[in-house]
Structure 1
Amino acid sequence: MADLTKPVTLANGGNTVGVGRGDGLVFGYFYVTQTRTTWNFTEVDGGYQIQDALTGNYLAMVPGYADDDSDGPSYFGKPQVVAKSADPNTPNAVWVIAPVDAEDDEYDNQVEDYDEDYDENDVAHSVYTVSLAGSDSYLGRSVVEDRSLGPKPIVLGDSADDVQEFWTFQQ
């Protein structure tokens, strides 16, 4: 497992993950120059809190994110994750980090497609799934996206079929 006591760069679907300017929405960026976000991890009951190292804001889902009438940010009907609050008691801000079994051939093929620098023997460049604690929902880029080269929202999906579930943590 990556050393989560040190800041890491997160990537999902081959894109560096960062926070949008001013609005706290979280995106996957095609170009590293679009964002230089690093993240700190704090182990808490039930998982980890993930904190933007620059702003101190925690990665979270807005309260009521699962309600059909939620006015929180969404993308193609899936709630988008935010990093807007520096309060460690922010609701919906505990994440389960699970290493992916490198012996799984299907996993190896999918990760190599997303991340050309992937090396299954490199501990500091490890692959995980991230899910919201207390739910069966995965965090990742939506499998349904526009075809632009713009940033891609990071959303919460009901299953691995809804989002690109593999994350790389780079130090």
Structure 2
Amino acid sequence: MSEQDRIVRLYAKGAPVGVHEGRLVGFLVDEHRTAEWAVAEADGGFRLTVKGTEDTLTASGTDRAPVLVRPDDTAASVWRLQRVTPEGVATISGLDALGTGTYVITQHGLPLGRDLFEDRSLAPKPVVTRTDDRTPHWTVEVLA
């Protein structure tokens, strides 16, 4: 983590996200298990790393799959952030433009998010690439 990183909390469908068994999940309960994320510019996008670790959000390809959280400094851990406003969607090109708000997170043009239909339990909800949610909006809360 460098001094230029921004520290954020991420929320998918209103649920704070964290790591469970090496995968990114939304916690409907157990909010104390959520993570803070260091956001850094990387290779034309952003790398999101669990604060204090080397574990990054990683997608291994373009197939629908759970998002892994593990050490990775390849293109598989670079994400695009697009801010959603009433005027439309705008790609964020630098950390100076990253503020608290609503975003779409993509890789290779594929959205990251929770599924549209999930089981009704309170178990952690998986976050996947190529979600079937038509509006995979994330809330990014900038902490520092």
**Length-normalised TM-score, structure 1:** 0.67
Q: Does 1:92 align with 2:90?
A: no
Residues paired across the two proteins, number: 131
Change (3 A) 1:169 1:32: farther
Aligned residues: percent identity? Answer: 28
SS class of match (1:92): helix
Q: Does 1:83 align with 2:54?
A: no
1:33 CA displacement: 2.9
Equivalent pair of 1:37/1:54 in contact (CA under 8 Å): no
Q: Is the 8 A contact 1:7 1:40 kept in 2?
A: yes
1:142 aligns with 2:115: yes
Task: Tell me which residue corresponds to 1:131.
Answer: 106
The answer to whether the aligner puts 1:19 opposite 2:19 as a matched pair is yes
Alignment partners' CA distance in 2, 1:83 and 1:43: 18
Counterpart Cα distance in 2 of 1:139 and 1:125: 18
Q: Calculate the aligned-residue CA RMSD, in Å.
A: 2.4
Q: TM-score, normalised by structure 2?
A: 0.79
For residues 102 and 12 of structure 1, the distance between their equivalents in structure 2, rounded to whole angstroms, comes to 19
List alignment gaps of at least 5 residues for structure 1: 67-77, 108-122
Q: How far does residue 124 in structure 1 lie from its aligned partner after superposition?
A: 4.8
| Cα displacement (A) at 1:102 | 2.8
Note the C-alpha offset of 1:169: 1.0
1:58 Cα deviation from its structure 2 partner: 0.9
Q: Give the counterpart of 1:52 among 31, 39, 50.
A: 50
Q: Which runs of 5+ in 2 are unaligned?
A: 90-97
Structure 2 letter corresponding to 1:165: P
Code of the residue aligned with 2:13 in structure 1: it is G
